[in-house]
Amino acid sequence: MPDVVMPRLSDSMEEGTILQWLKQVGDEVAVGNELVEIETDKANMAYEADVAGTLTEILVPEGETVAIGTPIARVGDSGEGSGLSTAGPVARDAPSPSQAAGEGPTPTPPAGEEAGAARAQAAETGGAADGDGHRVRASPLARRIAKEQKLDLSRLHGSGPGGRIVKADVEKADAEPAGATGLGPGAAPTPAAAAPPPAGKVPSPETAKGQVSYEEPSKLQSTIARRMAESKATAPHFYLRASVDMSRAVEGRRMVKEAAGEGDVVPSFNDMVVKACALALREHPRANGAYQDGRFELYSRVNIGVAVAAKDALVVPTVFDADRKGLRQIASESRALAQRVRDGQITPPELSGATFTVSNLGMYGIDGFSAVINPPQAAILAVGAIEERPVVRDGQIAGAHLMQVDLACDHRILYGGPAAEFLARVRALLEEPLSLAL
């Protein structure tokens, strides 16, 4: 009887959390069927079965976290018995462990009580079951948001495939008013402010800060915290800064936008940065490598990770072989990846394999910043806003569109001189944008 083990769904994954079993004990499973939803260090996703048969046993229940390689379920031949679950959801009418031990049957609660218990559980877990005890179909991201907002998923109408509740359905429900109170569904009234201390008395820290609430980070947030701390602790960062004259790029993009037809993709400035970095990385292999286990790793493919802001986290999907793709293809892929990140539909392969990262905060009006290297990569480029500023050209003051870029480097593999040459090449490519199309 083959075991289904916790899969490695990303290159940095060490453990996973079972969010929802999509098949129950006794269900037939075919290769490619969605078997279980798993929360990893990078995203929530459905894992497809790689074996066929009958789900005979669930070993890890929903909500538990186990290391990769740990058996989480068993799938047997179609003729084998079911109801062997020892830790996970038990099939209806299957004997409980106490019954198996000879303690007698457990009385079945009346239908009304059973439905009430299901609704109570739904309220506690973000709407995990409807009034009949059936599990509500919802994406992992929608389920998480509903739990945070204390929304009952069983009361929502899903607009996704097969009536599945998606992120937009939860956000829409949370934005709707709830009667005369003016509070959204699941919202709690604002707690009264702490009373000020009597005159002449020094307030305690608790009084001075008001009421304190605590929030547990998600697995993704915990992983980001751990990896960024490890990066700063183990990789000796140094930073290079350059100012790029984007005037020709601004004018070129304006012309492309004016000539574009309906539905045509117009590359963004960030797409240009990705392409420029890809071409420069091809010429400077140390910047496209990593320091691993006391030696240099140099990669033949140039894969650019593009940082995307998700809900309370940062996700970095990958544009593969960016040096071999045109600007329009990079633009199309980047937009599709960013949308899948925001919809919670990004897949493990799309989050793996990056050899360099671009992080852009220019759209937030940030002039420049120093980014933390995404280990084990050798460097990351931080991109600021494009601003029109006065410059001196041929002894005359003129206007120019300037953009600040900051390169964070791992000094164990990328030294000052080669890093400066790489950044200078990126700047030269952006200042002559026609070279990006070659």
262 confidence band (pLDDT: 50, 70, 90): confident
Complete edge-to-edge strand list for the sheet that includes strand 318-319: 237-245, 396-410, 379-393, 356-360, 304-306, 318-319
- Give the per-residue pLDDT at 92: 34
**Do 60 and 73 form a contact (C-beta atoms < 8 A)?**
yes
d(Cα 43, Cα 140) in Å, to the nearest integer?
A: 9
Start-end of CATH 4.10.320.10 domains in the chain: 113-181
**Do 374 and 348 form a contact (C-beta atoms < 8 A)?**
no
Q: Which CATH class is domain 113-181?
A: few secondary structures
Q: 3-107: which CATH topology?
A: OB fold (Dihydrolipoamide Acetyltransferase, E2P) (2.40.50)
- Give the per-residue pLDDT at 79: 52
Q: Summarize the confidence of residues 58-74 as an average pLDDT.
A: 89
Residue 353 has pLDDT above 80, yes or no: yes
Three-class SS state of 323: helix
Q: What rounded mean pLDDT belongs to the chain?
A: 80
Percentage helix, strand, coil for the chain under 3-state DSSP, each rounded to 5: 35, 25, 40
pLDDT tens digits, residue range 223-235?
888 889 989 999 9
Q: Summarize the confidence of residues 243-261 as an average pLDDT.
A: 93
Start-end of CATH 2.40.50.100 domains in the chain: 3-107
* Residues acting as catalytic residues: 411
Residue 159 has pLDDT above 60, yes or no: yes
**Is the pTM here over 0.75, yes or no?**
no
What's the token pair of residue 248?
């020709």
Q: Summarize the confidence of residues 97-108 as an average pLDDT.
A: 40
Instruction: For Cα atoms 336, 337, 342, give the angle at the middle one, nearest 5 degrees.
Output: 100
Start-end of CATH 3.30.559.10 domains in the chain: 232-437
Q: 232-437: which CATH topology?
A: Chloramphenicol Acetyltransferase (3.30.559)
Q: Summarize the confidence of residues 301-324 as an average pLDDT.
A: 92
CA dihedral 179, 180, 185, 187 (to 10 degrees): 180
Other beta carbons less than 10 A from residue 340's beta carbon: 17
pLDDT tens digits, residue range 267-280?
999 999 999 999 99
Residue 125 has pLDDT above 80, yes or no: no
- Give the per-residue pLDDT at 371: 96
What's the token pair of residue 14?
């060490």
| Strand partners of residue 355 | none
93 confidence band (pLDDT: 50, 70, 90): very low
